[in-house]
Amino acid sequence: MTFDWSVIIDNWPRLLHGAGNTILLAVCTMALALPGGLLLAALRMTPWAPIRGFATAFVEFFRTTPVILQVYWVFYVLPVMTDIRLSAFGTGLAALTLNVSAFNSETFRAGLNSIRLGQRNAGLSLGMSDWQVLRLVILPQAVPRVLPALASTWVSLFKDTSLVSVIAIDELSYVGLQLRSQTFRVLEVLTAMAVLYWIMGYPQAKLVDWIHRRIKVAE
Amino acid sequence: MTVNAAPFVEITAVSKRFAAVEALSGVSLTVDRGEVVCLIGPSGSGKSTLLRSINGLEPIDSGKVIFDGIDVHGRGADIRKIRQRMGMVFQSFELFPHMTALANVMVGPEKVLRLPVAEAKSRADLLLAKVGLSDKADAHPAQLSGGQQQRVAIARALAMQPAVMLFDEPTSALDPETIGEVLNVMKRLADEGMTMIVVTHEMSFARRVADRIAVFDRGRIIEVGPPSQIFDHPTVQRTKEFLSHLGWDAAPIVHSE
């Protein structure tokens, strides 16, 4: 068995381009899924039961079905049902954003609910508005508590971006799998992909560990 | 009748139901300016619910709470303005844990009253001195004892310069050795003429400091009167039973200062 790494060296720009798209997709998804999650969390806490029910059903659907199915669904079914036609990248972004928003909303909800009612009452009894209570009392306590969970979601998201390769978005997995079928250098290509994912993912995982430690110390 | 002659806080036939439980059934009580009224009675008898309804934290099903001529639960009431004039102290302190003691006391004047920061700070400094905690200004709540936290919480409420102070079992979560320091601060406030409504299980405090005591039982006020009446000559059998249950007539508890 001999390894021929020239295939990796020759196609290095393509792999780098793929890795860049992986990062771009993850960053864009999280940038949309943070406000998306907040919105869903807010909808789930409104006094209006139908809105609450809709938001709950939405969240539960995206939390309990496979991401890859969601990607396929947005790619094949959504255009037929709604006439919305997205680019491949847009489709992947939409599917991942819906999924991560659902997870983020649960994180936000747990964070907000973890601040006991007495804190809110204390703020209100000083004459604060609901908005002031949220901004001055609840969020400063809730945000540090949800950071570790958000960071874990981020690491999962980063790896889950590989799933959108099934709809031909040229992120790292798609580029790698293409390269594999074009060159038949299966071992080299898969190894290079693994190394690239690891190089990108390891610092993130360490960062998450650090955040977890920091929050624990602060509490 | 002039406004000043009317009771400062006038509670009329307030009722409140939680699912199957009638928490308050037609409770009426008046509190005059400068008066200290203690609410006593068994747990779950409605004292705290009534207290929270006075500043609108607890919605009521029927009845009225009039504070200084304003219907607290009325449609047009500016509840934030009303709350700014009513300080509240909670059983579990509810200091804001992410702020220092000083910041806790400053936040009301600075963010709600919109005073300049320097003015809010000097007000907070004075109040921390008043409750004997100037040296703890930069400490976070987690670094303070329960008694110290509750004194900061009192300072925080006073920073709004309220016309009434509402105390919801302020010493129930405290270690016995720190109860006295909190009660002393409260007694001094009463001596200065602050109008106070105090839910408490501290019978010796109620006896020494209250002008009047209202005894609660199962969502009703069963007896109201000066401490001498309630403790020495209660007119209602349930009052007697409640007090003897606490061991009051057997062995009066006196807190050393």
Contact B83 A141 (CB under 8 A): no
Contact A132 B112 (CB under 8 A): yes
Written as one string, the DSSP assignment of chain B is: --GGGS-SEEEEEEEEEETTEEEEEEEEEEE-TT-EEEEE-STTSSHHHHHHHHTTSS--SEEEEEETTEETTSTT--HHHHHHTEEEE-TT----TTS-HHHHHHHIIIIIS---HHHHHHHHHHHHHHTT-GGGTT--GGGS-HHHHHHHHHHHHHTT--SEEEEESTTTTS-HHHHHHHHHHHHHHHHTT-EEEEE-S-HHHHHHH-SEEEEEETTEEEEEE-HIIIIIS-SSHHHHHHHHHTTTTTS------
What pLDDT does residue B257 have?
43
Per-residue confidence band for A214, with pLDDT thresholds at 50, 70 and 90? confident
Check if the beta carbon of residue A112 is closer than 8 Å to that of residue A41: yes
Strand-pairing partners, residue A15, are: none
Mean pLDDT of chain B: 92
Contact B80 A128 (CB under 8 A): yes
Distance from CA of B144 to the nearest CA of A (A): 15
Q: Does B84 touch chain A (CB under 8 A)?
A: yes
pTM listed for this prediction? 0.81
Instruction: Give the closest of B52, B94, B112 to A127, CB-based.
Output: B112
Check if the beta carbon of residue B228 is closer than 8 Å to that of residue B240: no
- Which residues of chain A neighbour B83 with C-beta distances below 8 Å? 124-127
CA dist., res. B139 & res. A59, Å (int): 41
Contact A124 B83 (CB under 8 A): yes
In percent, how much of chain B has pLDDT > 90?
84
Per-residue confidence band for A217, with pLDDT thresholds at 50, 70 and 90? low
Contact A125 B96 (CB under 8 A): no
- Which residues of chain A neighbour B94 with C-beta distances below 8 Å? 118-119, 121-122
Give the mutation candidate from A116, A119, A124, A126 for the B interface (greatest B CB count, under 10 A). Answer: A126
Q: Supply φ then ψ for residue B38, to 5 degrees.
A: -100, 135
Contact B86 A125 (CB under 8 A): yes
A42-46, B119-123, B126-130: least confidently modelled range:
A42-46
Instruction: Give the closest of A121, A128, A140 to B94, CB-based.
Output: A121
Q: Supply φ then ψ for residue B126, to 5 degrees.
A: -60, -45
Per-residue confidence band for A6, with pLDDT thresholds at 50, 70 and 90? confident
The two three-digit tokens of residue B207, written as one number: 């006896």
Written as one string, the DSSP assignment of A81-148 is: HH-----HHHHHHHHHHHHHHHHHHHHHHHHHHTS-HHHHHHHHHTT--HHHIIIIIIHHHHHHHHHH
Per-residue confidence band for A218, with pLDDT thresholds at 50, 70 and 90? low
What pLDDT does residue A5 have?
87
How many residue pairs bridge chain A and chain B with CB atoms within 8 Å of each other? Answer: 54
Nearest CA-CA partner of B160 in A116, A138, A124: A124
Nearest CA-CA partner of A90 in A154, A141, A142, A21: A21
Q: Supply φ then ψ for residue B27, to 5 degrees.
A: -85, 130
User: Quick count: other Cβ atoms within 10 Å of Cβ B79?
Assistant: 16
Contact B112 A126 (CB under 8 A): yes
Contact A122 B83 (CB under 8 A): no
Distance from CA of B27 to the nearest CA of A (A): 22
Q: Does B80 touch chain A (CB under 8 A)?
A: yes
Per-residue confidence band for B250, with pLDDT thresholds at 50, 70 and 90? very low
Give chain B's length. Answer: 257
Distance from CA of A38 to the nearest CA of B (A): 22
Contact B92 A118 (CB under 8 A): yes
End-to-end CA distance of chain A: 54
Residue A151 has pLDDT above 60, yes or no: yes
Digit-coded pLDDT (tens) for B87-102 = 999 999 999 999 999 9
* Stretch (H or E) spanning A155: helix A139-160
What pLDDT does residue B89 have?
98
Give the mutation candidate from B78, B82, B107, B161 for the A interface (greatest A CB count, under 10 A). Answer: B107
User: Quick count: other Cβ atoms within 10 Å of Cβ A102?
Assistant: 22
Per-residue confidence band for A79, with pLDDT thresholds at 50, 70 and 90? confident
- Which residues of chain B neighbour A136 with C-beta distances below 8 Å? 96, 107, 111
Residue B247 has pLDDT above 80, yes or no: no
Task: Find the mean pLDDT for residues B185-200.
Answer: 96
What pLDDT does residue A143 have?
87
CA dist., res. A60 & res. A180, Å (int): 37
Digit-coded pLDDT (tens) for B127-162 = 999 999 999 999 999 999 999 999 999 999 999 999
Per-window interface: B 142-201 vs A, CB < 8 A: 156-157, 160
Residue with tokens 């009660």: B183
Instruction: Give the closest of B86, B90, B112 to A122, CB-based.
Output: B90
Q: Give the ipTM.
A: 0.91
- Which residues of chain B neighbour A121 with C-beta distances below 8 Å? 52, 57, 88, 90, 94
The DSSP secondary-structure symbol of A47 reads: S
* Stretch (H or E) spanning A170: none
CA dist., res. B156 & res. B7, Å (int): 26
The two three-digit tokens of residue B79, written as one number: 């509840």
Per-residue confidence band for B249, with pLDDT thresholds at 50, 70 and 90? low
